[in-house]
Amino acid sequence: MIDRFVPNQYFPSVFDISITQLKEKGITSIIIDLDNTLIGWDMDEATAELKNWFDLLHKEGFSITIVSNNSRHRVRTFADPLGISYIARAKKPLGGSFEKAASLMDAATEDTAVIGDQLLTDILGGNRRGFHTILVAPVKQSDGAATKFNRFMERKVFKAMKRKGLMEWKENEKTK
Ligand SMILES: [Mg+2]
């Protein structure tokens, strides 16, 4: 059961995701969460670093769709200036928003990565449907948003990730 929450890859931030590796895996399309994956709750527009990152992904030929559970207004404010497609009020991990996003990009499930900061929405939703899942550490930790159950699941999943060697970067960072 815990496997459903374990991502295929784990990085400290979106900027650490290896584009070369994605290409080697045959990934052509990216479904990405907004809140705490790209920006914190207290921001509404992309930073210059994010703009460059999206430019790079586009240049490398990736299709991108933002899939967020947040409001249409919130997601549009971020996505429109960047010219990126989006699905708001997505009801992750339920509903068919990931399939819808993939079909809008004309991408097969196995060619599509789901990137997000939450195990219970992004990773569970992506794993259940067979997408390549990438967890990133939240841009901004907010204790209010994390339920006891979330924390409990996180501990279990992080243990499983450690066993699979997905947590090694963190161990290494600490010893530096
Ligand atoms: Mg999020």
Encode burial over 55-87: b for 16+ CB neighbours within 10 A, e otherwise: eebeeeebbbbbbbbbeeebbeebbeebebebb
The rounded Å distance from CA 143 to ligand 1 centre is: 14
The rounded Å distance from CA 36 to ligand 1 centre is: 5
Torsion angle defined by CA atoms of residues 128, 129, 134 and 135, in that order, rounded to the nearest 10 degrees:
-40
Phi, psi of 93 (to 5 degrees): -90, 5
Q: Is residue 136 a contact partner of residue 115, using CB atoms and an 8 Å limit?
A: yes
The rounded Å distance from CA 34 to ligand 1 centre is: 6
Residue 174: the pLDDT is 42
The rounded Å distance from CA 47 to ligand 1 centre is: 17
Beta bridge partners of 166: none
| Bridge pairing between strands 85-87 and 63-67 | parallel
What is the average per-residue pLDDT within 116-134?
94
The rounded Å distance from CA 40 to ligand 1 centre is: 9
Distances from the Cα of 86 to the Cαs of 8, 77, 78, 79, 148, in angstroms?
23, 11, 10, 7, 30
The rounded Å distance from CA 121 to ligand 1 centre is: 8
Res 3 pLDDT > 90: no
Cβ neighbours of residue 7 under 8 Å, at least 6 residues apart?
119, 123, 127, 133, 134, 135, 161, 166
Instruction: Report pTM.
Output: 0.89
Q: CA-CA distance, 174 to 152, in Å (whole number)?
A: 23
The rounded Å distance from CA 42 to ligand 1 centre is: 13
Residue 167: the pLDDT is 67
Res 143 pLDDT > 80: no
Comparing 106 with 154, which gets the higher pLDDT? 106
What is the average per-residue pLDDT within 164-175?
58
Q: Which of 5, 17, 39 is nearest to 113 (CA)?
A: 17
110: DSSP letter: G
The rounded Å distance from CA 122 to ligand 1 centre is: 8
The rounded Å distance from CA 91 to ligand 1 centre is: 12
The rounded Å distance from CA 136 to ligand 1 centre is: 9
The rounded Å distance from CA 144 to ligand 1 centre is: 14
What tens digit of pLDDT does each residue of 35-89 get? 999 999 889 999 999 999 999 999 999 999 999 999 999 999 999 999 999 999 9
The rounded Å distance from CA 97 to ligand 1 centre is: 15
Residue 142: the pLDDT is 62
Q: CA-CA distance, 79 to 77, in Å (whole number)?
A: 6
> Could you tell me the domains of the chain?
2-175 (3.40.50.1000)
Q: Is residue 123 a contact partner of residue 31, using CB atoms and an 8 Å limit?
A: no
